[in-house]
Structure 1
Amino acid sequence: MKLKKLLEGIEVSDCSEGVLDYEIEGISEDSREDLEGKAFVCLVGEHNDGHDYIGKAVEKGAKVLICERVPQGFEEYPHVIVNSTRRTDAFLWSRFYGDPADSLKVLCVTGTNGKTTITYMLKSILEEMGKKVGVIGTIKNMIGDVEVKSSMTTPLPAQLYKLIADMRDAGVEYLVMEASSHALDYEKLAPITPEIGIFTNLTPDHLDYHGTMANYAKAKAKLFKMSKISVINADDSYGKYMYEQASGRRYTYSRESRYADFTAQNIVSNGIRGSEYDLISENEAIHISCAIPGAFSVSNSLAAAVSARLCGASCKDVALALRRLQGVSGRMETVSLGGDFTVLIDYAHTPDALENVLKTIRAFKTPSQRLVALFGCGGDRDKTKRPVMGGIATAMADFTVITSDNSRTEDPKEIIRQILTGVSEGSNYTVIPNRTEALQWVVRNARKDDIILVAGKGHENYEITAEGKHPFSEKAILKAALAEKESGRN
């Protein structure tokens, strides 16, 4: 494909003579690859700058360099100068695969919490309509019913646009995807015009990258400048900002106010069995039953229902699909152990998410039941939330087990020390740095009718430590611990 075709829509500030007519056989951002016939994109990132690897790229046979500045020492080498190599990289890959997103109706969900649950709710409703649906997100990617491995919430452009092209070729009609703040900030989604952009909420997270909540909000708001329709949570303090940033049609939803476009009214909690409510708009009312407990699940199902209705789903499709959906992996998921206590696994890894899930459990547990929370904080991530989460867990749970959770390159004990700075004197807790041992401990010490919340990892089937990434199944560890307890070997 000619380079000028790949660069359509990208502002080129300078280029070598004749370079736009070059035939390009591929694209790469890795100077270690064989680059014969390929365009080498000099990505500028947090820790690395692709311009520093131009010499290696030339040695590897790069046909042309895509840069943000004239390549020093290689001024005569074929090159193109653009304003942002990140943005350009996304367009190059999209063009390379024939702009596959243009053939699909794309629904994007962004926010700190709730993204994954909403994507699966939407998938359920759209399939109830008889549509073939693709999913890109945290748990896994899916082309219809076929699972595709997922390594990050929003894949890199090379993988993202190949995946969307595979969806197009497989006959997918709707793509429902999570849009992370990193992906939006890096403009991975720049070539896509979503039919609908959905905002869930914004609470402190990823501040190790964004620095401030203002920057975090600005990154998230990019989605609503791109989307044809924006569906905004009016209950969130950042909802007004997102609404103001939206460039297309705008709708609000709320479980707390009757002044939004779509509201949840007559809410009834059925405890661990979920909630039901009436979705009310100017023109209609739909009775919704959701099997996932918690006020946040009312908000999530409301967002999914509203977005699906805007896509043409009938009231019947919406109500039936949400009633049938029994849950999402690692989101308030009940683990069937067979013991005389209950274990819930949840992905809660931010202060707001942890508080919400603990508040939900406290609302449906009986006075005689004990709430035990097990959690840790990730390494090489925002350190400011560690003491906050320590304070929330020990204040809201009857007993807390503080442990590790993907410590990465950090010392787990140092992470725990920082968590403990937020714990009040006299709180009921224990510290068990090894997460396997912590899981075994909560099972051995579980009392009849206890509700045990295992927070932080959710769907994850791995643990990341200084030694690297290795398989880690919380469910398997819990089941083995119960079997050992019941055999009397503990």
Structure 2
Amino acid sequence: MKILKDILYKVGIEAVNGTTDIAINYIHFDSRKVEMNDVFVAIRGTVSDGHDFIEKALSQGATAVICEEFPSVIVNGVTYIKVEDANHALAVMAANFYENPSEGLKLVGVTGTNGKTTIASLLFQLFKKAGYKVGLLSTVKIMVNDQEFKATHTTPDSLTINHYLYEMIAVGCEFCFMEVSSHGIHQKRTEGLHFTGGIFTNLSHDHLDYHKTFAEYRDVKKSFFDHLPKTAFAISNVDDKNGTIMLQNTKAKKITYALKSYADYKAQILENQFTGLLLKINNHEVWSKLIGSFNAYNLLAILATAEALGLEEQEALRLLSELESVSGRFQYVISEGKVTAIVDYAHTPDALENVLKTIENIRTKNEQLITVVGCGGDRDKTKRPIMAQIASTLSDKVVFTSDNPRTENPETIIEEMEKGVEPQNFKKTVSVLDRKQAIKMACQLANPNDIILIAGKGHETYQEINGVRHDFDDMKIVQELLTLLNK
């Protein structure tokens, strides 16, 4: 049990009705989870308004309510706290409830359109190899040192973040690497956290269904760096035109990386093959099992972070060469029939173009490149024709299919993609609604030495259709189909 007034420390309170000197059990923003002596925080969401569920929370035993507007009916014996921003209040309260765990370890946030999962996951892997106890909060999974938990969001809600940080402290973790999404920043999920450092990867077309304009999307990302303390570090990719913008107003120590521009950490790609990358980083040659120029950027960000956190350069470079690729990020298998199948999470125009250009730079041009791609439902519609245009331009054959349709008609999504195909590329494309059948068609079209790229879902092991998640793993399915076709 905690005392309400203690977990309200640093919350911007506008008005109080009742006493804050009461014991509370837990904090909830989902009224369905409220139990006796809990605090209910009424959040205004994009779909529903928590203020509409205050009565329900009270009926289930809530003894305190945090809200932006007092309800018309005030119940005796219940404490009501009016705040300007309930999202901010929830984040600060969550940190206080769990005794501000982010202050007890070195927390590094990774933000940008692409590369967040790879960088956070590989930093976790690197510091584990260096002998430390480490935590990870990522799209793929949550790790409390050796214990794995399922992830549901790129950046979890404030209570979940602080709960896992608390668990990390309990088992002795010294570092935590965390993906920080634009949604998470905008919804104040990272407020109340003490970051030791932040990393900016890149910025491209994504989430415009939520942010409406690219400028707003950029400025939300920038606000993360604006709020870093002067004791922190801010690492930025200055080859991206927004890289210097991220650093403009930060108080943190500025560290830059690039392949093309002048930077503190600069790399030259000496070899780029399916077996890996040979890089020259600040006059040191480093071999990596990772593939593609986008991973060269990721490796630079990882090296810069490792050194900023105190690792010696030679140790950091050695560990860099031992890193294994992340699930669903340019993950590939070569079948008995000598067909190379690549599964990648690329679900934005920029990410898809990066993967296709990486394959283009490695391939011999004597083989076909067959791409299977779809776009998610209930998300940014403007990127659909752009992704189709990129896929049909940079591939020999393209199979348009379903991704996670969610509540949208998958046929409509594919039709919107097809509008982006230029006339000279029409003959390259075919549409197959069922994703498994689309992958099967790609396998049937492939000859020995051909390359199949299956883009969009990567690490995901499900397909979401009308609110139901069905088991679906791109890598498992393509492996099974290639094995069957070889018989």
**TM-score of the pair, normalised by structure 2:** 0.95
For 1:103-114, list aligned pairs within 5 A.
103-114=104-115
1:10 aligns with 2:14: no
* 1:191 aligned residue: 192
For 1:331-370, list aligned pairs within 5 A.
331-370=329-368
Q: 2:279 aligns with which of 255, 277, 280?
A: 277
* 2:414 aligned residue: 416
Distance, in Å, in 1 between the alignment partners of 2:481 and 2:314 is 44
Distance, in Å, in 2 between the alignment partners of 1:124 and 1:90 is 28
* 1:426 aligned residue: 424
In structure 1, give the amino acid aligned to 2:443.
Answer: V
In structure 1, give the amino acid aligned to 2:399.
Answer: V
CA displacement, residues 421-457 of structure 1 (integer Å, 9 cap, x when unaligned): 0001131111111101011111122111101111111
Q: 2:258 aligns with which of 248, 254, 258?
A: 254
- The answer (yes or no) to whether the contact 1:289–1:319 under 8 Å persists in 2 is no
Distance, in Å, in 2 between the alignment partners of 1:240 and 1:72 is 49
CA displacement, residues 180-224 of structure 1 (integer Å, 9 cap, x when unaligned): 111111111111121110000010111111111111112212221
CA deviation after TM superposition for structure 1 residue 75, in Å? 7.5
Q: 1:403 aligns with which of 385, 388, 401?
A: 401
What's the RMSD between the two structures over aligned residues? 1.5
Identity level (%): 37
In structure 2, give the amino acid aligned to 1:279.
Answer: I
* 2:300 aligned residue: 302
Query: Please, which moves more after superposition, 314-323 or 231-240?
Result: 314-323
Distance, in Å, in 1 between the alignment partners of 2:102 and 2:227 is 13
* 1:201 aligned residue: 202
Distance, in Å, in 1 between the alignment partners of 2:43 and 2:284 is 48
For 1:96-245, list aligned pairs within 5 A.
96-227=97-228, 228-245=232-249
Query: Please, which moves more after superposition, 30-39 or 41-50?
Result: 30-39
The SS at the match of 2:235 is strand
Distance, in Å, in 1 between the alignment partners of 2:483 and 2:235 is 47
Distance, in Å, in 2 between the alignment partners of 1:261 and 1:426 is 44
CA displacement, residues 85-115 of structure 1 (integer Å, 9 cap, x when unaligned): 1111112122111111111100110000001
The SS at the match of 1:339 is coil
The SS at the match of 2:321 is helix
CA deviation after TM superposition for structure 1 residue 467, in Å? 5.6
Distance, in Å, in 1 between the alignment partners of 2:486 and 2:31 is 56
CA displacement, residues 360-384 of structure 1 (integer Å, 9 cap, x when unaligned): 1001100211111110000000000
Distance, in Å, in 2 between the alignment partners of 1:6 and 1:123 is 31
* 2:74 aligned residue: 74
Query: Please, which moves more after superposition, 459-468 or 476-485?
Result: 476-485
The SS at the match of 1:32 is helix
* 2:460 aligned residue: 460
- The answer (yes or no) to whether the contact 1:444–1:481 under 8 Å persists in 2 is no
Alignment: residue pair count: 480
CA displacement, residues 56-80 of structure 1 (integer Å, 9 cap, x when unaligned): 2222221111011222222765211
The SS at the match of 1:384 is helix
Distance, in Å, in 2 between the alignment partners of 1:486 and 1:122 is 38
Query: Please, which moves more after superposition, 395-404 or 85-94?
Result: 85-94
Query: Please, which moves more after superposition, 241-250 or 476-485?
Result: 476-485
Residues 245 and 471 of structure 1, relative CA distance in 2, 3 Å threshold: farther
User: Runs of at least 4 residues of structure 1 off by over 3 A?
Assistant: none
- The answer (yes or no) to whether the contact 2:336–2:483 under 8 Å persists in 1 is no
Query: Please, which moves more after superposition, 391-400 or 114-123?
Result: 114-123
CA displacement, residues 8-39 of structure 1 (integer Å, 9 cap, x when unaligned): 1111111024x221211111112233432111
Distance, in Å, in 2 between the alignment partners of 1:161 and 1:186 is 15
Structure 1: any 5+ residue segments left out of the alignment?
Answer: none
CA displacement, residues 151-174 of structure 1 (integer Å, 9 cap, x when unaligned): 111112222211111111111110
* 1:320 aligned residue: 318
* 1:27 aligned residue: 27
Distance, in Å, in 2 between the alignment partners of 1:367 and 1:48 is 52
Structure 2: any 5+ residue segments left out of the alignment?
Answer: none
Distance, in Å, in 2 between the alignment partners of 1:250 and 1:482 is 48
Distance, in Å, in 1 between the alignment partners of 2:43 and 2:164 is 21
In structure 2, give the amino acid aligned to 1:59.
Answer: S
Distance, in Å, in 2 between the alignment partners of 1:32 and 1:296 is 43
**TM-score of the pair, normalised by structure 1:** 0.95
CA displacement, residues 372-402 of structure 1 (integer Å, 9 cap, x when unaligned): 1110000000000000001000000011111
- The answer (yes or no) to whether the contact 2:28–2:34 under 8 Å persists in 1 is no
Distance, in Å, in 2 between the alignment partners of 1:481 and 1:94 is 48
